[in-house]
Amino acid sequence: MTYENLSPIQFDALREIGNIGAGNAATALSQLLDQKVNMVIPTVKIVTFDEMMDLIGGPDASVVAILFRVFGDAPLHVFFVLSIEEAEVLVQTMTHNSTFSLMDENSANKINYSVLEEVGNIVAGSYISALSDFTNLNFQPSVPHLGIDMAAAILTYGLIDISQVSDYAIVIDSKVNSEDSDNTMKGNLFLLPHPESLQTIFSSLGIKEYE
Amino acid sequence: MNKVGTVVRVGIADLNTVREPNTIRTLGLGSCVGIVIYDEQKRVAGLAHILLPDSSVTKQKSINEYKYADTAIPVLVDRLLEIGARKHALKAKIAGGAEMFKFSSGSDLLRIGPRNIDASLNELNKLKIPVIAQDVGGNIGRTIEFDPATAKLKIRRVNREEIII
C-alpha cells in the first residue's frame, strides 16, 4: 500500500479529520488554560522521514513531545509537540509557578512533568475522541509518554511501524495557539496513521476508491 | 589553524562518504544507529543512519537498502572501497540505539533501539570490521559528527556535555 496515489477527496477527508480533532483539542486546551486558543487549518502532507523532522524545526531541535500509541480499529500515533519554551509556559500557566524550567532536573519537577503528560492526555484525548465520533471507529489511546529530546530521536518512534512498509509518512499537522498578553504558546498535533489504517478510515467515511 | 571543510549531512535511512578535510554528520539519532566506518590512514570515512535492523522482514517490494543495518553496512563498505579505503584497514564507531520511551507492553518492535545495535554489531562482525568505540543505548537522542582527519566522533546530546569517542 502506498501513499502516492491518494485522491483529492481522500486528502480532504484527512484534512477534515485534522480539523475536527484539532477543534476539539483547542477547546479542551482553552478550558484548561482559561485562555483563548486558536487553531490553524490543518495541513495534510506526504513527506519523507527527513522532511517530517523539518516540519518542527529540524531533526536535532529540542522539543517536548507527548506520544500516544493508539490501538483499535485503525492503529496510529498521535504526537503533541511543543518547543521547550512553550512547554515551560504551559506548565507555568497551569501551576502558577513562573520559575519552572524543564531542563532543571530536581524532584519537584516530576510533578510538573506529570502536569505536561496530563495536558497532553487531555488535548490528544479530545483529538482522538473527535476522530472516533467522526469515523465511528474504535480508538484506544495508550497512556501518555513524555519525551524531551531531539525531534528526530523522538518522532522516529512513530515511524517504526510505518517504515516497515513505506519510505514516506502521511502527517496530519494541526496547530493550536494560545495567546494572552504575555505569552504565546503553539502546539503541533501530529497524527500519523499506519498505512493499513488509512483504508479502514476511508471505508468508515464511505470513501471507496482507494487503490 | 583549521583547514576549511564542509559538513556532509546524512539523513534518516541514508548514507554517504567523506574525505578529509570534510566531516560527516547526522542529526537526532534516537532508536536509529549511526555507523561510522573509516580508514584512518587514508582519511576517508562513511556514515550510515539506519532505522531498522533487518531487511528480511520487510513487506516492501523494492527496499531502500540504506534503511536497514544488514543492507546499509555492506553498501557503505563498497562505497568506501570505491573512494580508496582499504578493506583490511577499516574500523568502525557506532552511536545511537536508544530506547526513547519505555513501554510496559513490550512488543519486540518497540525495543527497536537495542535490536538496531545488535544488528549493526553483528553485521560489522560478519565483515570483520573492528568496533573501536561506541556510545549506545540509554534513553537520549544523539547528534554525531565524524572527522576523518582525526578519526574522532563527536557526540552531542540534549542538556548534557558533548563527548568525543
CATH fourth-level superfamily of A3-204: CheC-like (3.40.1550.10)
* pLDDT value at A123 more than 90: no
- Average pLDDT for chain A: 82
Judged by a CB distance cut-off of 8 A, whether residue A145 touches chain B is: yes
| Residues A53, B57: C-beta atoms closer than 8 Å | no
* pLDDT value at A16 more than 90: no
Structural domain boundaries of chain A? Answer: 3-204
Choice between A149 and A41, residue whose per-residue pLDDT is larger: A149
* pLDDT value at B1 more than 50: no
What distance in Å separates the CA atoms of residue A80 and residue A116, rounded to the nearest whole number?
10
In a mutational test of the A interface, the residue from B60, B71, B100, B155 whose CB has the highest number of chain A CBs within 10 Å is B100
| Residues A164, B13: C-beta atoms closer than 8 Å | no
Interface residues of chain B, partner chain A, Cβ below 8 Å: 11-14, 27-32, 51-52, 57-60, 64, 67, 98, 100-103, 109-110, 112, 140-143, 156, 158-159
In a mutational test of the A interface, the residue from B159, B160, B161, B162 whose CB has the highest number of chain A CBs within 10 Å is B159
Q: Which of A1-10, B48-57, B61-70 has the lowest mean pLDDT?
A: A1-10
Torsions phi, psi of A140, nearest 5?
-125, 100
Nearest to A150 among B59, B109, B158 (CB): B158
pLDDT at position A36, please?
Answer: 83
* pLDDT value at A109 more than 70: no
Confidence of residue A211 (pLDDT cuts 50, 70, 90): very low
The runs of H, that is alpha helices, within chain A are 8-33, 49-54, 84-95, 108-135, 151-155, 160-163, 195-204
A50-62 b/e (C-beta count within 10 Å ≥ 16 → b): bebbebbeebbbb
pLDDT at position B53, please?
Answer: 92
In terms of phi and psi (left: phi > 0; alpha: psi -120 to 50; beta: otherwise), the region of B26 is beta
CA distances from A103 to A60, A120, A141 (A): 16, 19, 28
**DSSP of B106-143, one letter per residue?**
--GGGGHHHHHHHHHHHHHHHTT--EEEEEE-TT--EE
* pLDDT value at A57 more than 90: no
Percentage of residues in chain A having pLDDT higher than 70: 90
Choice between A109 and A82, residue whose per-residue pLDDT is larger: A82
**Biggest CA-to-CA distance, chain B:** 53
> Could you confirm whether B32 is annotated as catalytic?
yes
* CATH 3.30.1330.200 matches B7-160: yes
CA-CA-CA-CA torsion sign (A12, A14, A17, A23):
negative
Q: Do residues A201 and A208 lie in contact, with contact meaning Cβ atoms separated by under 8 Å? A: no
**DSSP of A165-180, one letter per residue?**
T-SEEEEEEEEEEEE-
Confidence of residue A182 (pLDDT cuts 50, 70, 90): low
> A-chain residues within 8 Å CB-CB of B59?
164-165
Closest approach of B109 to chain A, Cα-based (Å): 7
pLDDT average, residue stretch A93-122: 76
Contacts for B62-66 with beta carbons within 8 Å, 24 or more apart?
Answer: B64/A167, B64/B13, B66/B13, B66/B14, B66/B15
> B-chain residues within 8 Å CB-CB of A49?
11-13, 51
Q: pTM of the prediction?
A: 0.86
In a mutational test of the B interface, the residue from A4, A157, A166 whose CB has the highest number of chain B CBs within 10 Å is A157
Percentage of residues in chain B having pLDDT higher than 70: 92
Q: Which of A19-33, A162-176, A197-211, B101-115 has the lowest mean pLDDT?
A: B101-115
pLDDT average, residue stretch A150-155: 91
